[in-house]
Structure 1
Amino acid sequence: MAKKEKKEIVNLGHGVGRRKSAVARVYLREGNGKITVNGKSVEEYFVDAISVFTVKQPLVLTETADKFDVIITVVGGGIAGQAGACRHGIARALCEEDNDAYRSALHAAGFMTRDPRMVERKKYGQRGARRRFQFSKR
């Protein structure tokens, strides 16, 4: 009875992407272009086409869509925030894999920049972040 050899998984690059309150951990592996998000395919996880397009943008720009398998774990936020976090993480992982070839193109497209826009916190004495309670003179 022969022992099964354990196949070692080698991550070529990894990156952490953030957008709004979503955080995505991205791992690049040798493969044929399969993108997995939280154990599901990207089309199954992000049901709308815009989010799927957003996630794939860095791979299409660098022409590596069929060169790597991408494994993503994303938590927090909503659909748009998670898609943006995945895009940011994939761009960072690609730069870690081959910095010279991809960084300038990804930076010029704006994929390396973390979008700082967050939901403004609610203030006390107000109905929302900026909305006041209705003023009554009498």
Structure 2
Amino acid sequence: MSEQELQSLEELGGALGQGEANEAPVYEQKLDAQGRAYATGKRKNAIARVWIKPGSGVITVNGRDFEKYFARPVLRMVLQQPLVAANRQNQYDVVCTVTGGGLSGQAGAVRHGVSKALTHFEPELRSVLKKGGFLTRDSRVVERKKYGKAKARRSFQFSKR
């Protein structure tokens, strides 16, 4: 073997010349000329373009207040989840435009966009949002209809005679 015996994994990393083995990658702030962070969020067929900037917590969706646009309380809760998880409810103004899909998909797209924009504005929030699962794009979409089938998988009703 070698002349030097290693007592732990840290010494192994030092012996290999790696220094500190568990350094996290450094993320930097990404802002536009107006001091806003931009991100695109997607869910099902909905696409949301989201801008956040420091403010009083006003959320605007397609030029309307988010409470008017998303009438159901569940959708409003979904939209605010990343801000609540990061404890930034009344610190950022959110402006977004969302197209495609239905209301549920649009709320999920805005949530995804807000999460990504928060990480662009405050990179240290990435670990909190990643643990909550807000940065993962939910890739589930409706399956296409196949020929010879009533729907994507359902067959036509069988008739014996």
Above 0.5 in TM-score?
yes
1:123 matched to 2:140: no
Cα deviation code 1:53-98 (max 9, x no counterpart): 0001111111111111000100011111000000000000001111
1:77 matched to 2:90: no
What is aligned with 2:155?
132
Task: Please state how far the C-alpha of 1:11 moved relative to its aligned partner.
Answer: 4.0
Distance 2:122 2:81 in 1: 17
Structure 1 residue runs of 5 or longer lacking an equivalent are 1-8
Structure 2 residue runs of 5 or longer lacking an equivalent are 1-32
1:13 matched to 2:8: no
Cα deviation code 1:23-74 (max 9, x no counterpart): 0000011211000000011101000000000001111111111111000100
Distance 2:105 2:85 in 1: 20
What is aligned with 1:48?
72
Distance 1:54 1:47 in 2: 12
Aligned residues: percent identity?
49
Letter of the structure 1 residue corresponding to residue 110 of structure 2: C
Task: Please state how far the C-alpha of 1:136 moved relative to its aligned partner.
Answer: 2.1
1:92 matched to 2:128: no
**1:91-110 maps to which residues of 2 (within 5 A)?**
91-99=115-123, 101-110=124-133
Report which structure shows greater RCO (CA 8 Å, sep ≥6): 1
CA RMSD of aligned residues (A): 1.1
Distance 1:18 1:58 in 2: 15
Distance 2:36 2:129 in 1: 18
Distance 2:119 2:46 in 1: 21
How many pairs were matched up?
129
Task: Please state how far the C-alpha of 1:137 moved relative to its aligned partner.
Answer: 3.0
Max radius of gyration: which structure?
2
Distance 1:73 1:82 in 2: 10
Q: TM-score, normalised to structure 1's length?
A: 0.90
Distance 1:71 1:55 in 2: 12
Is contact 1:46-1:79 (8 Å) kept? yes
Q: TM-score, normalised to structure 2's length?
A: 0.77
Letter of the structure 2 residue corresponding to residue 66 of structure 1: N
Secondary structure of 1:29's counterpart equals strand
Letter of the structure 2 residue corresponding to residue 21 of structure 1: N
